Structures are given as C-alpha cells and as structure tokens.
Structure 1
Amino acid sequence: MFAKLGQDPKYRQYIQDGGGVLEALAPRDFKAYVDSEIDRFARILPPLGIQIS
C-alpha cells in the first residue's frame, strides 16, 4: 500500500512540500532505522526532562 502511494506524484509533491523525503526501505533496514531513532531519542530526551517509556 505505501509503496503504491509513494509512486503517486501528487502524494510525493505533498510530502516534499512539507519538507519530507520519501525513501523506500527493506523491512530489515526500516527496523534498523527505527531502532536507531529510538536509541537516539532515549539519549536526547531525558536531559530535557521528557520521560519516555
């Protein structure tokens, strides 16, 4: 579903207009990206007084 949506020129333009970037990732690569973002925010947020669970 998302792969098809990402090919729609209107949707791609909508994302780009909002400053986003569409990138297709294999499931393993997507999981690695999400895991790295979780780790990054786990380090960044607590010193700012933002608690994550």
Structure 2
Amino acid sequence: MAKKDPKKRILEDFPSVREVIKGKEIKQIALHLIEKEEDTNYQKKYATVWKNA
C-alpha cells in the first residue's frame, strides 16, 4: 500500500487538531495550503473537509 503524501495527510488531519486547539489560526493555515494545492480534485476534497470546521 502506498503512503500518502505528508502534505495531503496534514490537510486531512488539521480539522482534528483544530478541535483540540480551538484556534482560528489553524483553519487559516489550512485554507492557505488548500489554495496552493495544484490538483483541483484535492482542493475540492480538502475544502469539503474544512467547510464545517
């Protein structure tokens, strides 16, 4: 089984981290990283993860 790209793993795990930290900075960092994602499919996936975060 192939390992996930660390950047992608971080973006998927950030909402859990945010719940613990309760900081808006984490969301801003994640949204910034999502903007930098070159693959539009992953951009949409990550945006969905963060939609309700």
Q: TM-score, normalised by structure 2?
A: 0.30
Q: TM-score, normalised by structure 1?
A: 0.30
Structure of higher RCO (CA pairs closer than 8 Å, 6+ residues apart): 2
More helix by share: 2
